[in-house]
Amino acid sequence: MFSEAIHCSDTETVRFAIYPDGFDGPRIIARISDDALHDIFEAPRDDECFAAACQSHFDQIEAKALERYLAAPQTAVLLESADFFANAEAELTAA
């Protein structure tokens, strides 16, 4: 899936769009931190690599962003490493 990922070095995040109601609904801009892309998805600390990592792992990133958006639609979505660590811990506990 195409992620529309853009690295923003001033905020150390990658911005991307999510569409909670499909492409006919609203376009929501979400962000994921450079640290999360590096820590979770092993992206090298390079502007182009951060956007590429977001694209490569977009299914996981989009799912987490949609979850966060649906839980609090009025709050900006900024994904951090801890968001993905919580998922990993829950999966290990369930196993």
In a domain, 28, yes or no: yes
Domain count, the chain: 1
Whether the pLDDT of residue 88 is over 90: the answer is no
23 lies in which domain range?
A: 6-94
pLDDT band at 85 (very low <50, low <70, confident <90, very high): confident
In a domain, 72, yes or no: yes
Q: What number is the average pLDDT over the span 53-78?
A: 96
Q: Could you tell me which residues are beta bridge partners of residue 70?
A: none
In a domain, 1, yes or no: no
pLDDT tens for each residue of 32-65: 999 999 999 999 998 889 999 999 999 999 999 9
In a domain, 79, yes or no: yes
In a domain, 75, yes or no: yes
Question: For position 60, which CATH number holds?
Answer: 3.30.160
Q: What number is the average pLDDT over the span 79-88?
A: 83
46 vs 77, residue with greater confidence? 77
Give me the pLDDT at residue 92, please: 47
Q: Could you tell me which residues are beta bridge partners of residue 32?
A: 14, 79
Q: Where are the alpha helices (DSSP H) in 42-80?
A: 47-56, 58-71
